Structure 1
Amino acid sequence: MKLLLTDAVIIPMADGTDWFRGWLSVADDGTVAALEAGEPPAEVLAEAKADGAEVIDAAGAFVAPGFISAHSHIFTGGMRGMTPGEPLYGWVGEQSTFIAGADVDDIYWFTLHGCLDFLGNGVTSVYNFTDSRVVGKYDPDTDTREIYSIRPEAYLTRQLDAARDAGIRTMNAIRVDTEFQPAAEAFEVFDRAIAHLKSEVPAELDLGASVFGAVQWSATAQAARDEVTAMDAHGIGNQAHFLETSEALEQQREKFQWYEEAGALRPGFLFGHFVHPDEYMARTAAEKGAGMVWQPTSNGRLGSGVADIPLYRELGMPIGVGLDDQSCTDVADPFQNMRIGAYTQRAVNKDAAVVMPREMIRMHTLGSAEALGAHVAERVGSLEVGKFADLLLVDPSAPDTGPVWDVYAHYAFACGLRNLKKVFVGGELVSSEGVSAHPLAAEASRELHARVREVAARSEERSRERLAW
C-alpha cells in the first residue's frame, strides 16, 4: 500500500454508486485497492503502517476522481489573454502568427508547462491536440491556408515527450498533414509518431493516439479520406474541430458531408465543439455512433455559442467535456468550466434542472473517459477498485464555503481551485495547495516566460519578412 485516506467524503462517480463518508487505499501499482464507508479496519491500518504508506486524515473533505479534459491544446499556456475581443478565426490567426516562431525546444517547454498547469488544477487525464509541424495561417474568407514551412519531426515528438515527462495521462492527437507534403511522407511521419508513443511513453501514461481532425481547415474532401486511412491503419479514433463558430457557417457545414462520405462517422469519432450543426448532422452523427466534446468556457470566451447538450443527450451521443486552450479559457479551471457549462445550459433552456450537478461532474470525469473510448474508461474517470488512483482532495472548509446541503451541488457549484488541496496521480502527490511537486516546475516557468518573448520576437521578424515578399 502506498496511500490511505481516512474520514473522507468520497465521490466515486461510478455509475450505480453514491457518495459516502469513509476511506480509500491505493495499492503499490497506483490503482485503487479498496474504498468503503466508515473507518478502515485494523488490518488495513496495520498494512499501511507495515508498508510505510502515507496516511491522510481528510477530516471530512471531498475525495473525487481527477478531472478529464477531453479536448485540449496544452502548448498554449503562454498565450493567455491573447485577442481578448476576437471570435475564433481572429484568435486562431493571432495564435498561428505567434506559434510560427516556435522551435523544437520551445514547444517542449510550452507543453510541459501546460501539463503541469493542468495537473495543478486537478486535471489528471487529457486529450491533447499536438501543434502541427506545418507553419501557416488559415484564411476563413477564402477557405485557404497559406503555408510558410514545415518544422522538423522532433517538433511533434517532443510534445509527446513533454506530456510524458509531466506525468499526466494523455491521449495524443496527431494531424495527418497530407495536404502540405507528399502523402506517403505524411503517413510515414504519422506512423513514426505512433511508434514513438509506444516505445517512449510508459503504458500507464499512454491513453492511446488519435487523429487530429482538421477537415474544417482543409481544401478538399481527400483530407477526410486520408484521416480515415490513418484511423483504420492504427485502429484509433478521431476528434475534429467542427461547427465551433457561427463564422463561415455554410462553409463548415458543407464539409460535414466529406466526413460522412469518407466513412469517418463511427464510434470513436468525436466532434469537438459541435455548436452549430443542423438537425440532419446531429442525428446522423448520433446514429453512426459518433460523440461530441463540449468546451463551455472556451465557447463563451470566443463568443462561439452554446452547444445543445440536451439534444445530444436525447440522441444518445457520448458527451465529453474539455478545457480547450489555456489561451481561450485563460484559467484552466475545471470547477469554473462546470459552473459555466451548467449555468449557460440552464439560462439558454430556461430550465434550472436541465443539467444537474452530478451530471455535470460526470461529464467532466467518467463521461469524458467514455467519450474517449472504453479502453480509457476502464482505467480512469471514476474511483473504483482496479482503476488508477487519480484523485483530488477538495476541502470545502478551507476557505469555508458553509454547510453542505447537497454533496454534488456543493462540489460542482460552491468549490473551486481555492479549495483544491492535493492532487494525486496513481496515488502519488503531484500538487499541493496549488504548488507543483514536479522537480522541473520552477524551470518550466522560467523557460516559458523567456521563450514566449523570444518566440514573439522571431514571429514578428518573420511577419516582416513575409510582408517584404
Structure 2
Amino acid sequence: MTEPDLGRPSLGVSAPGGGRPAAITDVTVWTGTGWRERCDVVLADGVVTDLRDHRPGAAWAGEALDGSGGHLVPGFTNTHTHLQQSLCRGVGEGQPLLAWLLTVGEGMKAVTPRRAYVAAVAAALEGLLSGTTTLVEHAWPHRDDAVGRAVQEALDLVGVRAVLGIGVADRPDPTRRWGFEPSLMKPLDEVFAGVDELGRRTAGGRLTPALAVPNPRSLTPDGMKRVRAFAEERGLTAMIHLAETGTDDAMCREHAGVGAVELLAQSDFLWDRLLAVHCVEVDDAMIAALAAHDVAVAWNPVSNMRLGSGVAPVEKMLAAGVRVGIGVDGAASNDRQDMLETLRAGAYVQRATDRRADMFGHAEMLALACDGAAATLGQRVGAAAPGGVGVGRPADLTLVRFGRDFACLPVTDPGASLLTTGTPRIVDTVLVDGEVVVADGRSTRVDVEALTRELAALPPG
C-alpha cells in the first residue's frame, strides 16, 4: 500500500488486515443466469478457480470466509466518475450543463494535491462500500503532476481496482465552448510522458492508466490522431464525454461543419478501446456509427437526470450492438457514489420512458454494471454469463446480507431485492483481487473517523 507524501493526511488504519480467504463457503451465488444456493467459491491468486456444492467441514488451503445466509455477486464497475468532485457536492445545483461546468471548473482550478488526495479517498471508499470494485476515473486536465500522484496514492490506500484516465486537451478556450480551460492544459507530449510514468509506477498493481478527453471540442483533429496512436501503441483505454446534451453537436456543426460523432469519425477517433461517456443526445445514425466502430458507452442515469440532460436511449444502443456500462459520474452531478442507487434509478427511468415494467430487470442491470464495458476497459470476465460469478473471473466480489437492512426484508427474490431495495447498508464484505477490503460493512484499510474529520475541516471550494 502506498503511503501518502508529506503534507497529505494519514488516513490509513494502523494495522490493515482484511486477509485473503481461500474460499467463500455456503453462499448463494449469482451465476449470471440464476442463483446457486449453498455453494463454495474457491479462490486462488486473486481469481475464482472453482464453484462447488457446499461441503461442511471441508479443509481449505487457507482461511475460509463464511458466506452462509449471504448472496454473492461480482463487484460492480463504475464506468465513469470524477473523484475530486466529492468536495463539490451540491455545487451548481439547478444550473444547466454549460453553466454547471464553469462553476465546477473554478473548483478544479483551485485543487491542490492534499485536497485531491482526500477527495479521492472519500469518493473511492464511498463507491467501494456500495459494491464497486472497479472505478473508471475521468480526471480533468491539470498542470500539476502532484495532483495525479495524490489520486493514485488515494486509490492505492482504498484498495479498489481503477482505470485512471489522465486528462488531455490541446484546444484552449476559457469559455469551454470550443476548447478547454487553458490554465489547466499541458502539451500533449508532457501528458503522454506522465501517462507512461504512471504505467511504470503502477505496473502489476490494481491501477491501469488511461487517457481522458473532456469532450470532442477540447481536442483538435491532430490531437485526436495523436491520442489514439498513443493509446493503441500501449493498449490503453481512452474516454471522452460525448453528446451529454445537444451542445457537442451544435458546437461541432458551428465550428467544424459536422456533428460531434462525425467529427470523431473524420479524425479516426472511434475504435474499440474508446469509452464514450453519456451519449444522451444520439440519433440512429450516431448509434450506428458507435456500433460499427465497437465503441462502448458509459451510461450515467442519475447524473443525466440531476443536470436535466435527458435520458440516454440505452435500449436502442443495446439493440444496435453497442456495449453499454453503467457510471455514477462525479459527486458534483450525482451527489453520491452509490452504484446500487444508480442501478435502481437507471432501470426505473428506462421503464418510465418506454412505459414498460418488463425491461431492465436485475439480470440485465447486473450484466451492464459488471461487464457491460469490460472489453473496452481491458477487463477479464471469466467463464460466467455476463454479470455472474464464474471460474476465471477476478476475485472482485461483493457479499450482501439483506438482513443488515430491515427495509429489504422479507426477501421474495434476491435479484429483485438487490435491484429495488438494495442500499450500501446490505454490503457486508467486498473483495478486490482476492483481498477483503470491506468487512462487516467497514473498510479494512481506511480510518473512516480520520477521513470524516479531515473532510469536515476542509474549506469549501
Q: TM-score, normalised by structure 2?
A: 0.84
> Of 417, 432, 452, which aligns to 1:445?
452
Shift of 1:370: 3.5
> Of 284, 291, 305, which aligns to 1:300?
305
Q: Matched residues in 2 for 1:2 and 1:28: separation?
A: 9
Kindly provide the amino acid, as one letter, of the partner of residue 342 in structure 2: N
Q: How many residues align?
A: 424
The structure-2 alpha-carbon separation of the partners of 1:290 and 1:284, relative to structure 1 and needing over 3 Å to count, comes to same
Q: What aligned pairs does 1:90-109 form with structure 2 within 5 A after superposition? A: 90-109=99-118
Question: 1:427 corresponds to which residue?
Answer: 434
Question: 2:332 corresponds to which residue?
Answer: 327
| Contact 1:80-1:326 at 8 Å conserved across structures | yes
3-state SS, counterpart of residue 63 of structure 1? strand
Q: What aligned pairs does 1:41-120 form with structure 2 within 5 A after superposition? A: 42=57, 45-47=58-60, 51=62, 53-59=63-69, 61-120=70-129
| Contact 1:210-1:236 at 8 Å conserved across structures | yes
Shift of 1:366: 1.8
| Contact 1:292-1:317 at 8 Å conserved across structures | yes
Alignment of 1:280 with 2:285, yes or no, is yes
> Of 338, 343, 346, which aligns to 2:348?
343
Alignment of 1:227 with 2:227, yes or no, is yes
Alignment of 1:11 with 2:13, yes or no, is no
Question: 2:212 corresponds to which residue?
Answer: 212
Q: What aligned pairs does 1:20-419 form with structure 2 within 5 A after superposition? A: 20-37=36-53, 39-40=54-55, 42=57, 45-47=58-60, 51=62, 53-59=63-69, 61-133=70-142, 151-179=143-171, 186-201=187-202, 203-206=204-207, 208-218=208-218, 220-247=220-247, 249-252=249-252, 254-373=259-378, 375-378=379-382, 382-400=388-406, 401-419=408-426
Q: Matched residues in 1 for 2:249 and 2:440: separation?
A: 43
Shift of 1:186: 2.6
Kindly provide the amino acid, as one letter, of the partner of residue 35 in structure 1: L
Q: Matched residues in 2 for 1:326 and 1:80: separation?
A: 6
Q: Matched residues in 2 for 1:381 and 1:358: separation?
A: 7
| Contact 1:12-1:65 at 8 Å conserved across structures | no
Question: 2:9 corresponds to which residue?
Answer: none
| Contact 1:301-1:329 at 8 Å conserved across structures | yes
The structure-2 alpha-carbon separation of the partners of 1:396 and 1:29, relative to structure 1 and needing over 3 Å to count, comes to same
**For the aligned residues, what is the CA RMSD?**
2.7
| Contact 2:74-2:398 at 8 Å conserved across structures | yes
| Contact 1:320-1:371 at 8 Å conserved across structures | no
| Contact 1:243-1:252 at 8 Å conserved across structures | no
Kindly provide the amino acid, as one letter, of the partner of residue 418 in structure 1: R
Q: Matched residues in 1 for 2:312 and 2:262: separation?
A: 20
Q: Matched residues in 1 for 2:50 and 2:235: separation?
A: 34
Question: Which range moved further: 216-225 or 357-366?
Answer: 216-225
Q: Matched residues in 2 for 1:331 and 1:154: separation?
A: 26
Shift of 1:452: 4.0
Q: Matched residues in 2 for 1:378 and 1:126: separation?
A: 19
* Superimposed CA distance per residue, residues 401-448 of structure 1 (whole angstroms, 9 cap, x where no aligned partner): 334333322221132222222222233322244432214444333333
Shift of 1:163: 1.6
Q: Matched residues in 2 for 1:416 and 1:104: separation?
A: 31
Kindly provide the amino acid, as one letter, of the partner of residue 31 in structure 2: P
3-state SS, counterpart of residue 228 of structure 1? helix
Question: 2:175 corresponds to which residue?
Answer: none
The structure-2 alpha-carbon separation of the partners of 1:292 and 1:122, relative to structure 1 and needing over 3 Å to count, comes to same
Kindly provide the amino acid, as one letter, of the partner of residue 266 in structure 1: W
3-state SS, counterpart of residue 305 of structure 1? coil
Shift of 1:316: 0.3
* Superimposed CA distance per residue, residues 127-150 of structure 1 (whole angstroms, 9 cap, x where no aligned partner): 1112321xxxxxxxxxxxxxxxxx
* Superimposed CA distance per residue, residues 257-295 of structure 1 (whole angstroms, 9 cap, x where no aligned partner): 221111111211121000001222111111121121100
| Contact 2:399-2:429 at 8 Å conserved across structures | yes
| Contact 1:313-1:319 at 8 Å conserved across structures | yes
3-state SS, counterpart of residue 266 of structure 1? coil
Shift of 1:76: 1.4
Q: Matched residues in 1 for 2:186 and 2:298: separation?
A: 31
| Contact 1:228-1:262 at 8 Å conserved across structures | no
Q: Matched residues in 2 for 1:191 and 1:304: separation?
A: 32
Give ranges in structure 1 of 5+ residues lacking alignment.
134-150, 457-469
| Contact 1:294-1:307 at 8 Å conserved across structures | yes
* Superimposed CA distance per residue, residues 64-88 of structure 1 (whole angstroms, 9 cap, x where no aligned partner): 1111101111121121122221222
| Contact 2:382-2:394 at 8 Å conserved across structures | no
| Contact 1:269-1:290 at 8 Å conserved across structures | yes
Q: Which structure has greater helix proportion?
A: 1
Give ranges in structure 2 of 5+ residues lacking alignment.
1-19, 173-181, 254-258
| Contact 1:108-1:159 at 8 Å conserved across structures | yes
